[in-house]
Structure formats: structure tokens, C-alpha cells
Amino acid sequence: MSTQSFSRFTAGAVLASLTAVSHVSAQAATPSPSMQDRLAKYTTVRLTSDLSVLSPKERQMIPLLIDAGRAMDEIFWMQAYGDKGKLLASASSPAMRRFIEINYGPWDRLDGNKPFVPGAGEKPKGANFYPANITKQEFEKAVAAGGARADSLRSLYTLVRRDARGNLMAVPYHRAYAGQLQRAAGKLREAARLAEDPGLRQYLELRATALVTDSYQPSDLAWMDMKNNTIDVVIGPIETYEDQLFGYKAANETFVLIKDQEWSRRLARYVTMLPALQRGLPVAEQYKQESPGTDSDLNAYDAVYYAGDANAGSKTIAINLPNDEEVQLKKGTRRLQLKNSMRAKFDKILLPIARELIVADQQPMISFDAFFGNVMFHEVAHGLGIKNTINNRGTVREALKERASALEEGKADILGLYMVQQLNRQGELKGEDIRNNYVTFLASLFRSIRFGASSAHGRANVATFNYLAKQGAFTRGADGKYRVDFPKMEAAMNDLARDILVIQGNGDYEAVGEFQEQHGKIGPQLQADLNRLATRGIPVDIVFEQGMSVLQAAR
């Protein structure tokens, strides 16, 4: 990573350049629902867990990890928008202030990032990772020559800014956000001194170092090596969804987690099946030539704190990490199922959607076990397929740029369902009826489509819905209720999995655009059904009451 150009600026000048983002324009926000209507998209959930399973030292670690997470929250505000304090002070009502907090900015993440604060213009595609006036052509010209400068500009862990001459330069995260990262690293080191599990202690120490150096691979490897910990924390710059210009820049976030040891033991046996599932994928051999790491984990957790990117708009209910392709091929990945968050979404959102949109005789097939399984194998499926293109275009993520995330989410959705089907046929899911998974999958498509076009998951689910509909995987009756056609669902599932895996393996950027153009638009009938859900008062997602005060009150 090149940092030479950084030294020509004073710290004050750099900090000013990081927060001075021209978000405000003369364009007023378009007419929109009231703030109360917008807030009604979310239902509040108290994020708690049984702390009695923790040792006294583990309980002491929780507030330290939450404090580290608060630092990530501050960083994500700067990455997503800029000056949090100034924006919040401009809110015209407590409701607007709260909605700004939920969205980490003046753009509604569940409504295609439309501005809801008067005077806020369109959200920059590159958020605050790039200069507000940058063009794709300018950036691509700057990196065309390759070399260290190009690598630094494209890095996951740099901001792109302009030097005194207006040329693009890279500012490493560990310098741009030095105060917050040093504070978070200190909290992680305090927690490490309390850690009784050697693997957790090593991970926390290495992660603290990573935060202040931008060198994350050693801590990713250590995270995969730790197996016996009850407390876990996912922290740092991780996902690239916020960068919709190129998909290069990782956004900061935190999850503080408590492992459910009993549920995790029940899930562990699926890990050994990954190589066989990879070999059985419904695609030509060259698109499944890589072998997933066999050191992967599949665990269930209660989440007790979300921060930053993880907490913005729609909430994550399962995680598949690390994203580093080298680590994935060497060690596999860890799939984290956030059981308490998942249950809240099932009870408060999925079941009401099913009652409104699924035919009465298939409604009993909606089950939490099927929902849990679909979500779990969605995360497992991220580790399947191919990570490096078959034609020397680099990794799939590099080749597909900003289009990679939505296609990868679509792959994980459909391959997750495929895996449930395969394991069911092999007798590995005893007592489970695959029809439950198919119907629950359809109901969950409606749930995720409501996340909107600004969400990679939302875009992926629109395309999946339209692809399956075109193949007759389900039908819509005159009463507005949907019915799954089970044989056609299976055939369409295999076809969609094949098409996505081929596009990824070829690193075909244009083909992703054509796929989204053909399948990625919400038609008038689907929109009318989504509007119907809103009129029934069914929330789109959840928002948390969280932190130590909530955990202590729940004891």
C-alpha cells in the first residue's frame, strides 16, 4: 500500500478533506411519506441474550467489545455520509432525527436511497469513499497503468482523495481514522487480557494490530483457527456494499456475539459435506474446480450488539466470513447464524407476509426451521462455486466490480436452496419436508425485496423472483395469493444456479448487467403486492434497543 502522497498534507487538512463532502444540492427532496410512516417500516426488537452462560471474565469483556464497536460506528458515519453532528442538528423533528440515525445519513435505505431530508441531493454512488465529483472514467484512467499506486487506490482499506494538484491519491484507513481505530484497538487489547480461551486471546490481539495497520489477513486466519470461544466479535472494515461505484471499499462494522454451543454442535456435521456439495453443483466442471476449505465452521449465535455498516437500514441475520479469497481457499469460512435476530424477523415480518401472500393450504409449510435452514445454507453457499475467474480476469469480485455483490447474494440464495434439496435427498435433514423450504423461500423473497434497490440483497431477490416466475416456479391467483409449483421450482432453481455460476466464472461484467436488466426490475403486479403489505402495517425490518443497559435489564 502506497502512502507517499499522504505525507504532503497536515493531519488537519486531511481530516477536513475526509469530512467535507458535497452532499447538499439545490435540489429539494421529492415528496415523501411522513417521518412517522417511514419509521413504521421498522419494528423495535430488544437485543438480549442469556449472560449466565458466560464466565465472570467473559461478562467483563462484553462492554469493552461494545465500546470498540462504537468506534466503528463513528467511522462508518464518516464513510457513509460525513459530518454526523451537523446533519443530526439540522433535523426538523425527533422523528426525522431518529430516521437519520437508522439510515446513517439523509437517504432512505429501504427506498432506493431516496433523500428524505430537505436539501439533500442524491447519494453519491461511492458514498464518502471517493471525492464527490469523481467519475468512473477518471478513476479507471488513474489505475490503468497498474503498479503500487493503482493497487493503493483500489485497496479495500483506503479512501480516495485529491492532492493539492487535484490528482487522485489514496489515504489509508489507519491514518484517516487514526483516533477511532486506536481507541478500538485499545479496547480489544483490554478484552484480550481477560480472554480465557487462547484462540480468542490471539485473535483479539491480532485484530487490534490489524485495525491500526490495515493488515487484516493474519487476524482473519487466527479467527478461523479459534474454535472453543463462547464470545465472538466481528469488527473492522469488512463488506463492500456501501461502495456502489466500484465495490472496492470496505465499510466498518461490528457484531458482538455469544455462541449458542448446543445449536452449534447440531450444525457442525454439515461442514464436512462442503467438498462433496461443491462437486455436485449443477454446472460444468471448470466452474467448480476449486475446493472449499474443510476447516469451515457453522455456528449459531445470539447477537448482543450491532454497529456501523451492520446496523444501517436492514439488519443482517447471518454472516459468512472472511471475505479474503486466499483465506477462504486455505481455511474455508465461518458461517454465523444470528439466531435471536433471525427469530425476530421470522415472527414479526415473515409470518405476517405469508398470511397475506401465500395460499392458505401452503401457509402451514412456513416454518422457522425451514427459514433457519434456508438462511444457514445461504451463508454456506457463499463458500461454494468459484472465487477466481477461469479466464485470468482475476478474482470474481475484481472482475465484476460493483455488480459483484448483488450477483453473489443471488448465488448464495439459490445455491443455499439447492443444498437443502441435496441434503434432504441424502437423508441428512431427517424429518424435514423440502416443500417447507420452497414455500418459506418464496415468502422470504418478498421480505428481502422490500429492502429496496440500495441493498445488494434486495436487488438479488428481485432478480431471483422474476427468474423463477418466468419459469413457472410459482403462480399468482386472482385473489393475490401465490402457490409454489414444486417440480418447476426445482428445475428453475438448477437453471438459475448454473447461469449465475457461469457468469461468475467467466468474470463477465457485461453479462451481469444484461441479467439485471432482464430480471432485476419490480413489475407493476409485484409492486402492488408489496404495497399491500405496507397497507397491512407489516414492517420491512427491525431496529434494535441494544447495549449494556439492555443486557443488564434482561438479566
Q: What is the pLDDT of residues 309-358, one digit of tens each?
A: 999 999 999 888 999 989 988 888 888 999 999 999 999 999 999 999 99
Q: Residues 6 or more apart from 256 whose CB is under 8 A from it?
A: 62, 65, 66, 69, 231, 232, 233, 303, 304, 305
Residue 472 resides in a domain: yes
In the predicted model, is pLDDT for residue 456 greater than 80? no
Residues 25, 43: Cα–Cα separation, whole Å: 32
What is d(CA 95, CA 49) in angstroms, rounded to the nearest whole number?
29
Confidence of residue 26 (pLDDT cuts 50, 70, 90): very low
The share of the chain scoring above pLDDT 90, in percent, equals 73
User: Does residue 505 fall inside a structural domain?
Assistant: yes
Given 176, 202, 220, the domain boundary residue is: 176
Alpha helices, DSSP H only, in 318-367? 325-331, 339-345, 351-357
Question: Quick check: 31 pLDDT over 50?
Answer: no
Residue 259 lies in a domain: no
pLDDT confidence band for 95 (50 / 70 / 90): very high
- Residue 288 belongs to some domain of the structure: no
Alpha-carbon distance of 547 to 555, in angstroms, equals: 13
pLDDT of residue 12: 38
Q: Is residue 333 part of a domain?
A: no
Is 279 exposed, middle or buried (CB count within 10 Å of its CB: 0-12, 13-18, 19+)? Answer: exposed
Is the model's pLDDT at 33 over the cut of 50?
A: yes
pTM for this predicted structure:
0.81
Task: Assess whether pLDDT exceeds 60 at residue 4.
Answer: no
Tell me if 522 is assigned to some domain.
Answer: yes
Picking from 240, 252, 239, 177, the residue whose alpha carbon sits closest to that of residue 213 is 177
Indicate the number of domains in the chain.
2
- Residue 292 domain-assigned? no
The mean per-residue pLDDT over the stretch 373-381 comes to: 83
Domain boundary residue, one of 143, 176, 209: 176
pLDDT at 328: 87
Domain that holds residue 124: 4-23+32-41+73-176
**Average pLDDT of 381-403?**
90
Q: Does 393 map to a domain? A: yes
Q: b/e string for 117-146 if b means 16 or more Cβ within 10 A?
A: beebbebbebbbbbbeebeeeebeebbeee
Residue 554 — very low, low, confident or very high, per pLDDT cuts 50/70/90?
low
Of the residues 144, 176, 208, which one is the last residue of a structural domain? 176
